[in-house]
Chains A and B, each alone.
Chain A
Amino acid sequence: MLKILKYSFYDLMRSRWSYVYFLFYLLLGVVLLFLNNDLSKAVITLMNVIIILVPLIGTIFGVMYYYNSREFTELLLAQPVKRSSIFLGQYLGVATSLSMSLVIGLGFPFVFYGIFNSSAIWDFSLLLITGAFLTFIFTALAFVIALSNENKIKGFGYAILLWLFMAVIYDGLFLMSLLYFEDYPLDKFSLGATMLNPVDLSRVLILLKLDISALLGYTGAVFQKFFGTNFGLILSFVMLVCWVIIPTFFIWRIAKKKDF
């Protein structure tokens, strides 16, 4: 698997899309920091970018990579390599290269700006870690979709739909159900619903740092425990890890049964 990972990774590191992605983040970081000159505001803007754009790019890139490398995959399948290694290797290659573009692209301007001497270093690291997690999650979901759909157009369609659902529609439904059932105790429900969407999960994880003052304004023991202690942070991370592991497991399972 490591060999496949290595080759996928090298392959991607040479593709211009990785550079575009990298340069985009580099530019974003520079613009946010040096034009605005306001670290706290930059971190807030970045959060929006990370929870919306990173999943989108992870999804599209994952699907695109899968379909574009289908022939290569077939070449590999005829080699004495385990099937699961091929797909997991490719998946990890894509996810790693995307995460690296993100972390390095954003990291550079912030390091130059002097993030290490700033109290925002933790907020910023949390942002990057969450971004990396989201990349891994959505690339994995993209691979699952692509593996289950031979039709490229259909695969792309489902992938975009998945992103749209997770990033926007889910929250709309979530909000409506909260308003509809407002007479009932909702804190367990709302935390549960948050855990079930990696975008929301990442958002809440970042909120724990950025907006803790507002979050602590609410009654309800479950909320208090979640936001007021490390419990929330730990649980969110555990859930993010689950969100990486479960789709990865599906990649493994579908790949095992698929015909090429």
Chain B
Amino acid sequence: MIEIKDIHKKFGKNEVLKGIDLSINQGGIFAILGPNGSGKTTLIKSILGMVLPDSGEISINGKSLKNSFKYRENIDYLPQIANFPGNLKVKELIEMIKDLRNSKATNDRELIELFKLQPFLNKKLVNLSGGTKQKVNLVLTFMFDGPLIILDEPTSGLDPISHLRLKNLIFAEKKKGKTILVTSHILSFVEEIADEIVFLLEGKIYFKGSITELKLKTSQPDFEHAIASILSASYA
């Protein structure tokens, strides 16, 4: 579904992506992992067209992303920091995003129900707590029915119940045959949901495969240690 061919990206002198080749197939949950500054967010933003790679090519369903924006109709993106125009009310923000995507078939009502957001609908976004904002953020992402979902740190700021609901939500979407890209620092969460992981290190793909494969490769009994061993190996 997503084909990434040899993309490079520099921000000034800092080379963030040093030739990434990656292909992600339709269906399943892919976790993109890596230490801070390894290029996770840059990679995701490249797929979204927010960052323009210096070289290389990305295509989705065989179509190159260059100079195109319509493909984003098929992507539901959850940004890392949920900051919205403060003067808008929650309700208005939801309506606005719907309006921008020209999308009518949405399940925002169920999601609002799910995250118990009704009391906040008429509040201005500037007055919401971080966790509530993240819930709004989740509603905005999951209310559309795009075949590709990209979640950048989806768990940040969520209480345990919402965390659980989010997990269920992700599994439900997976069942519909969607492709889901996730970045997260919470390894237990990744271990629970990911079918396949992509480990980025210093702008390159260090590992791609299932968690079991990773454990085998690093000959560690559990996921956390496997990751730790990669990191200690590379920083040694």
A interface list, Cβ under 8 A from B: 3-4, 7, 11, 14-15, 69-72, 74-83, 257, 259-260
Instruction: Kindly specify which of B65-73, B113-121, B173-181, B225-233 makes contact with the partner chain.
Output: B65-73
Is the beta-carbon distance between B81 and A80 smaller than 8 angstroms? no
Chain B 1-43, CB within 8 Å of chain A: the 1/0 string?
0000000010100000000000000000000000000000000
CA distance A260 to B152 in the complex (A): 15
Query: What chain A residues lie within 8 Å of B96 (beta carbons)?
Result: 7
Contact partner, A80, options B45, B85, B101, Cβ 8 Å: B101
CA distance A15 to B126 in the complex (A): 12
* Smallest beta-carbon distance B145→chain A, Å: 14
Question: Which residue of chain A has its CB nearest to the CB of B46?
Answer: A259
* Smallest beta-carbon distance A38→chain B, Å: 40
CA distance A70 to B50 in the complex (A): 13
Please tell me the number of chain B residues within 8 Å of chain A, measured between CB atoms: 29
Is the beta-carbon distance between A80 and B77 smaller than 8 angstroms? no
Query: What chain A residues lie within 8 Å of B158 (beta carbons)?
Result: none
Is the beta-carbon distance between A259 and B52 smaller than 8 angstroms? yes
* Smallest beta-carbon distance A122→chain B, Å: 38
CA distance A11 to B89 in the complex (A): 10
Question: Which residue of chain B has its CB nearest to the CB of A79?
Answer: B100
Given known pairs A11-B87, A83-B69, the reply for A77 and B100 (CB within 8 Å) is: no
Is the beta-carbon distance between A260 and B45 smaller than 8 angstroms? yes
Determine chain A's interface SS by DSSP, over half rule: helix
B49 at the interface (CB under 8 A from A): yes
Is the beta-carbon distance between B45 and A259 smaller than 8 angstroms? yes
Is the beta-carbon distance between A78 and B77 smaller than 8 angstroms? yes
Question: Which residue of chain B has its CB nearest to the CB of A83?
Answer: B69
CA distance A69 to B9 in the complex (A): 25
Is the beta-carbon distance between B79 and A78 smaller than 8 angstroms? yes
A-B contacts, 18 of them at CB < 8 A, read A14-B87, A15-B87, A70-B83, A71-B79, A71-B81, A72-B83, A74-B50, A77-B50, A80-B69, A80-B72, A80-B101, A81-B100, A257-B52, A259-B45, A259-B51, A259-B52, A260-B45, A260-B51
B159 at the interface (CB under 8 A from A): no
Q: Which of B43-85 contact A (CB under 8 A)?
A: 45, 48-52, 69-73, 75, 77, 79, 81-85
* Smallest beta-carbon distance B203→chain A, Å: 15
- With A11-B88, A74-B50, A260-B45 given, name 9 new contacts (CB 8 A): A71-B83, A75-B97, A76-B100, A78-B48, A78-B79, A80-B70, A80-B71, A80-B72, A82-B69
Contact partner, A72, options B49, B71, B84, Cβ 8 Å: B84
Contact partner, A259, options B50, B72, B75, B84, Cβ 8 Å: B50
Question: Which residue of chain A has its CB nearest to the CB of B100?
Answer: A79
CA distance A3 to B99 in the complex (A): 8
Given known pairs A79-B100, A81-B100, the reply for A72 and B70 (CB within 8 Å) is: no
Is the beta-carbon distance between B85 and A11 smaller than 8 angstroms? yes
Query: What chain B residues lie within 8 Å of A71 (beta carbons)?
Result: 79, 81-84
Query: What chain A residues lie within 8 Å of B72 (beta carbons)?
Result: 78-81
* Smallest beta-carbon distance B58→chain A, Å: 14
Report, nearest first, the 5 A-B pairs whose CB atoms are least far apart: A71-B83, A78-B77, A80-B72, A80-B73, A259-B51
Chain B 87-120, CB within 8 Å of chain A: the 1/0 string?
1100000001101110000000000000000000
CA distance A74 to B77 in the complex (A): 11
Query: What chain B residues lie within 8 Å of A11 (beta carbons)?
Result: 85, 87-88
* Smallest beta-carbon distance A12→chain B, Å: 8
CA distance A11 to B203 in the complex (A): 39
